A = this chain, B = another copy of it.
Amino acid sequence: MVLKQGVELLLEHLEEQQRGRGRVGRRETPEKMASRIHATAEQLHLEDLQEPCDASMLLDACRVVLDTNPKSGHPLFFNQLYGKPDELGVLGDWLVVAANAHVHTYEAAPAFVVVEKEILDKLARTIGGEYEKEHDGLFVPGGSMGNFYGMLMARHHAQPNLRKTGLHGGPALVAFSSEQSHYSYTKAAAVLGIGTDNMIAVKCDEHGSMVPEELEKAVVRAQQDGKHPFFVGATAGTTVTGAYDPLPSLHMICKKHKLWMHVDGVWGGPVLLSRRHRHLMAGAEHADSIAWCAHKLLGAPTQCAAFITKHGNHLLPCNASAASYLFQPEKCGAAFDPGDKSFMCGRRADMFKLWLMWKHVGDLGMEKIVDVTISMAAAFEELILGSEGKFHLVQPRTYANVCFWYIPRSLRPFRRENASATEMEEIGSITSLLKGKLHEAGDAMINYQSMDGVPNFFRIVFRSHCHLDVQDLQQMLERMDSMGETL
């Protein structure tokens, strides 16, 4: 059974990352990578007349694929918002593959349907407030889809007839999110027929949080223009800086103007599990809907994202088609069928891995993931502040993101308020150079970006990073500094 041999390879890969050995990644061009797979094993290319390949050659190819791919489980992989997959999470996801069940009816996937309900119930109790009384939801393929469902439900709530008649005869609906919000809001506005022009970007303060007064001004302006505001997409944990919008203030504005309030808690929502940090999400319990995700900070394997709403009976009328071939009401457990709440058909059983993880470590264990991760971010922030001017914080940390620049020796001591445009440009361009160097050396993978006139900076994000200590981070900064000297 080739699967058995393959599993050995996968377990080895996971254990190696656990120990944090080896390169984080390889910076290879597509051509180089393809040729490496070609050399060691089977070509990446699917031939015009593809012959069968020997299983052992395919195992070699698997080895190269794993080697080529950035080691997202490596302690020094900071490139994306996901990282080392939790061991029980991996088991749960592997089980889902082996069971090969699709979630749409209780009949076809009984345990997964019940587990989905269990997790959503637990999440609702964790959110608290009105969610404890009533809620509904779904696991969805990624956080973007969670925000998409939020806007879709809001549209249906505002204009239930449009589902039937189409939007062309309806009012000009307008949605709002902060200028720092995730791009999925804009994509959703485009796809849902709202239009990107009607997705208003509301100004943020210097931390990246939406300014409530600016929201209200924008809402009133849209009303005066004869448009119909219907949706506010708040953000709990922005992608770049980890900022939280002031949810209680946004809630008051939404209430006053009768707007659907959705919270994008895809990145920052896990703080709900921590007594120490859940204050960041205060007010989320008033939101009409929330997108939440366990595959980022919490370390479930991708994908593991949920959409939840406090409206217990709005998701089905929003999406139902009542297909007679699938949703026969007389079938066993049909009252549990979740499929028709989705605008897709079958969904992967992404909820099961989270159930296993949660059961394994319990509430305190889940809380610890959040607390340890955020304290690691805080420790890293301290390292930057104590780096004697070699590194410079772009802005103070709120959550698990630390944004910073490497300051070339020639520009030290660096004072941002005195820096010239040319100097800022130099700092920005050295960021992307240094990132490339690090990546090439396989040392660490750190993302970077520019933001509204602020030149390129590094963004480190901490996720479920319990196999990392402050010394590792200190050493990484020292190596970055040495590399920086050579640029």
Contacts and interface: CB of A to CB of B under 8 A. Distances in A.
A65 B343 contact: no
A470 interface: no
Contact of A344 (B45, B142, B345): B142
Nearest to A332: B27
Nearest to A346: B142
Contact of A166 (B7, B108, B193, B360): B193
A20 interface: no
A211 to B, nearest CB: 21
Nearest to A432: B330
Given A37-B111, A55-B360, A101 B169 contact: no
B34 A114 contact: yes
A115 interface: yes
A312 interface: no
B95 A10 contact: yes
A165 interface: yes
A467 interface: no
Given A7-B11, A97-B301, A166-B198, 4 more contacts: A70-B107, A163-B195, A166-B194, A168-B169
B100 A302 contact: yes
Contacts of A197: 164-166
A3 B90 contact: yes
A321 B183 contact: yes
Contacts of A388: none
Contact of A141 (B109, B333, B348, B352): B348
Given A142-B346, A336-B30, A91 B3 contact: yes
Interface residues of A, number: 151
A45 B119 CA distance: 9
Contacts of A436: 332
A409 interface: no
A114 B44 CA distance: 8
A192 interface: yes
A426 interface: no
A166 to B, nearest CB: 3
B324 A450 contact: yes
> Of A108, A119, A125, A352, which is in contact with the most chain B CB atoms at under 10 Å from its CB?
A108
Contact of A53 (B45, B102, B184, B360): B360
A315 to B, nearest CB: 13
